[in-house]
Chain A
Amino acid sequence: DTEVTQTPKHLVMGMTNKKSLKCEQHMGHRAMYWYKQKAKKPPELMFVYSYEKLSINESVPSRFSPECPNSSLLNLHLHALQPEDSALYLCASSQDRVAGELFFGEGSRLTVL
């Protein structure tokens, strides 16, 4: 059983829709991450929250908006996405911001029509 839970597992949205991806962890980890993964490629870092504060934004377009309501929750708000944004979006957590030992959720597979 994964200790990082992501919802929804699958999402189909149009380019004008607004949707959100959600992530929850109950391991007491203080760092949480959003990664994007395209088929047959490694994960690409998007955002890092450390102690509920945004510490890294890897120049991600503003149509992706992260939010960390508390130390256990991480959201990714999606608006006006493009078809090329279709990918597997992975949430991960780690003990602290010294990254490496990441625990990934099962991912949210996003399709933008």
Chain B
Amino acid sequence: QKEVEQNSGPLSVPEGAIASLNCTYSDRGSQSFFWYRQYSGKSPELIMSIYSNGDKEDGRFTAQLNKASQYVSLLIRDSQPSDSATYLCAVNGAKGSARQLTFGSGTQLTVLP
């Protein structure tokens, strides 16, 4: 079983819609959760961090964490073509060691004009 699983995608949404990206993780002791955006041919860029249950909003992005369900999601409101990228979920274990930072395989998002 993969430790961090994401929708395999690709996911296509029309411009202006809400894109919903999901991630589940297997380590119940996980403490910190991250979303990275990676444009084709570029490096990953951190867009959201979330550490406690609930929602965290930053502009058009909302991260949602439910530790009981071992689930973290990223909502992108008013999606724009410039949001088209691969989104990587990353989860860190209880000790926060770099070795415990596990990336999901990524969900490719395409926002259609």
**What is the interface of chain A, defined by CB distance below 8 A to chain B?**
2, 31, 33, 40-43, 45, 48, 55-56, 58, 88, 90, 97-107
Contacts and interface: CB of A to CB of B under 8 A. Distances in A.
A31 B105 contact: no
Given A42-B88, A42-B106, A99 B101 contact: yes
Interface string B33-46: 01010000011111
Given A42-B88, A42-B104, A56-B99, A100 B43 contact: no
Contact of B43 (A31, A48, A56, A104): A104
Given A100-B32, A102-B36, A107-B43, 7 more contacts: A42-B104, A42-B105, A88-B43, A98-B92, A100-B92, A101-B46, A104-B44
Interface of B: 32, 34, 36, 42-46, 49, 88, 90, 92, 96-101, 103-106
A contacts with B: majority SS: loop
A58 B49 contact: no
Given A106-B42, A107-B43, A100 B105 contact: no
A56 B42 CA distance: 25
What 6 pairs between A and B have smallest CB-CB spacing? A42-B103, A98-B96, A99-B98, A104-B43, A48-B98, A100-B92
B105 A45 contact: no
24 contacts: A2-B43, A33-B98, A41-B105, A42-B106, A43-B44, A43-B88, A43-B103, A45-B99, A48-B98, A48-B99, A55-B98, A90-B43, A97-B96, A100-B32, A100-B34, A100-B96, A100-B101, A101-B46, A101-B49, A102-B101, A103-B46, A104-B43, A104-B44, A106-B42
